[in-house]
């Protein structure tokens, strides 16, 4: 992966400070969120678009969808499915190669 893509990935990497629940920063001891943050960041490192697509497309993963949508700047309802093409369009517009 080139330096340019690493820089873009760093800009959108998740951290507990970026995630908010009901207007409050996520508790640093919330293991569900923290493990998800690690999985999301690893997916970014690997350019694992399938992982991101699966989360965004599955309305049963409400917490995960909220996290991914927040970091991608998407405004979605919890029960609104997102097509994989939408994620790839977002990636192209933000010069990420997923």
Residue 63 in domain: yes
pLDDT higher than threshold 60 for residue 97: no
Residue 75 in domain: yes
Q: Look up residue 22 and give its two tokens.
A: 């009901």
Q: What is the tens place of the pLDDT at every residue in 27-81?
A: 556 666 667 667 777 776 676 667 666 666 665 556 666 666 666 666 666 556 6
Q: Which residues contact 34 (CB under 8 A, 6 or more apart)?
A: 16, 28
Residue 41 in domain: yes
Residue 8 in domain: yes
Structurally, how many domains does the chain consist of? 1
- Residue 1's pLDDT band, with cuts at 50, 70 and 90, is very low
Quick one: pLDDT at residue 42? Answer: 76
The answer to pTM > 0.85 is: no
Residue 11 in domain: yes
Q: Look up residue 29 and give its two tokens.
A: 């001891």
Domain interval for residue 17: 3-93
């Amino acid at each position: 992966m080139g330096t340019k893509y690493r820089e873009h990935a760093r800009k959108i990497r998740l951290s507990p400070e970026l995630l908010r629940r009901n207007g409050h920063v996520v508790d640093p001891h919330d293991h569900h969120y923290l493990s998800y943050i690690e999985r999301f960041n690893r997916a970014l490192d690997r350019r694992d678009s399938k992982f991101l697509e699966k989360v965004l497309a599955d309305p049963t993963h409400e917490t995960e969808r909220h996290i991914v949508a927040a970091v991608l700047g998407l405004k979605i309802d919890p029960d609104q499915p997102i097509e994989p093409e939408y994620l790839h369009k977002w990636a192209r517009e933000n010069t990420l190669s997923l």
